[in-house]
Chains A and B, each alone.
Chain A
Amino acid sequence: MPDTLNRLLAGLPSAEPHPARAAQTHARCRAHLERQIRSTARETAQASRVAQVWQPLAAVLGVAYLTEAIVEALRFVGPF
C-alpha cells in the first residue's frame, strides 16, 4: 500500500505560478542581487581607499617616531 500511495502522490500534477507574477518575482530577486553586488563593490572600493590613505600615513608616522627616538637616544648617550 505505501508503494502504491507513493506512486500516486509522486504522479500528482505540478503547479506553476502565474507567469506575470513569476516574472515579477524573478526580476525583483535579480534586482536585489545586483544591488547587493553594487553595494559590495562600493564597500570594497571604500575599504581600498581607506587602506590607500592610512597605510602610507602610518608608515610615515612610524618612521618619524623611530627617527625621533633614535635622535633622542643619541643626544642622551652620544657626542651631541
Chain B
Amino acid sequence: MSRSPLSRVSTAVDRDSELALVERLRQGNGEAFDEVYAAFNTRVFTFLVRLSRRRDVAEDLLEETWLRLVKHARRLRPDTRLGPWLFTVARNLHVTYRRSRMLEDSAAASLMALWPFSVERSSPFDEAAATELERRIERALAAMPVAAREVLLLVGVAGLDPSDAADVCGITPEALRQRLHRARAALSKALENDATIEAPATEGVPSCQTP
C-alpha cells in the first residue's frame, strides 16, 4: 500500500505522448506496453480493489484488463485515450464479475445462512489507512452502493475528467454529474454519522467538513 496519493490521470501521459504510445502499441511494441503498464497499473488496481473490496478479485480483474489491452492492441483506434479505455475495461470486467457473483450468491444464499460467522468484508484499505479520517472514508466508501462508489473512485480518487468518467460508466455527462452529486452527499452524510457514532464528544478529531 503506497502512501503517495494518486496523481491525476489526465496528467499521467500527455496527449502527444499518448498518441505516439498508442501507435507503438498498435504495432505490438513491448516497450510501449511497459510504459502504459507503469503509468496505469497502480491506478487501475487501486480503482479495482476499492470497487470490488477484495484484493484477490482486483488482481484477477487487473490481469484480465491488461490481457484485453494486448489482445486488442492492433485494433486500437489511433486516437484512443488509454486511461478511459483501461478504466472502462476494468469497470466492465467488474460488472461481469458481480453478475456472476450474484448468480452464485443466489444459489448459495440458503447454505450461507447456516454459516455461523458474518461474511461481511471490510475494505482491504481499512487496516492500512494511516489516519482515523482515512479509515472512516474507506469504511464509508466500502459501504456505498457500487454505482455511487464507482463515480467517486473514478472522479475523486483516480482523477478522471467527469466526461471521461461518464464514458467509462456508459452514462451521459449530465447523469454522471447528478450521480456524483448524490454520491458526494451520501459520503459526507456517512462520514458525519460515523463521526457521531464513534466519537460523539471528542475534540480534535478532524471533521470532513473542516478543511
Given the contacts A5-B188, A10-B156, A15 and B2 also touching, CB distance less than 8 Å: yes
B45 touching A1 by the CB < 8 A rule?
Answer: no
Interface residues of B in 34-76 (CB under 8 A from A): 34, 37, 41-43, 45-46, 49-50, 55, 58-59, 62-63, 66-67, 69-71, 73-74
Number of residue pairs A-B, CB distance < 8 angstroms: 118
Q: Flag whether B173 is at the interface (Cβ < 8 A).
A: no
Q: A32–B63 Cα gap in the complex (Å)? A: 13
Q: Flag whether A14 is at the interface (Cβ < 8 A).
A: yes
A17 touching B58 by the CB < 8 A rule?
Answer: yes
Q: Flag whether B130 is at the interface (Cβ < 8 A).
A: yes
Q: Which of B114-122, B133-141, B194-202 lies at the interface with chain A?
A: B133-141
Q: Flag whether B33 is at the interface (Cβ < 8 A).
A: yes
Name the interface size band of chain A: 20 to 34
Q: Flag whether A12 is at the interface (Cβ < 8 A).
A: yes
A22 touching B41 by the CB < 8 A rule?
Answer: yes
- A residues less than 8 Å from B58 (CB atoms): 15, 17
Given the contacts A10-B159, A16-B45, A3 and B62 also touching, CB distance less than 8 Å: no
A33 touching B28 by the CB < 8 A rule?
Answer: yes
B42 touching A15 by the CB < 8 A rule?
Answer: yes
Q: Flag whether B90 is at the interface (Cβ < 8 A).
A: no
Name the interface size band of chain B: 35 or more
Of A6, A34, A36, the contact of B156 (CB 8 Å cutoff): A6
- A residues less than 8 Å from B55 (CB atoms): 15, 18
Residues of B within 8 A of A (CB): 1-6, 28-30, 33-34, 37, 41-43, 45-46, 49-50, 55, 58-59, 62-63, 66-67, 69-71, 73-74, 124-125, 128-130, 133-134, 137-138, 152, 156-157, 159, 184, 187-188, 208-211
Q: Show 20 A/B contacts (Cβ-Cβ < 8 Å), sorted by A.
A: A1-B209, A4-B210, A5-B184, A7-B211, A9-B137, A9-B156, A10-B5, A12-B134, A13-B2, A13-B3, A13-B5, A14-B2, A14-B4, A16-B45, A17-B58, A18-B55, A24-B63, A30-B34, A32-B70, A34-B30
Residues of A within 8 A of B (CB): 1-18, 21-22, 24-26, 28-30, 32-34, 36-37, 40
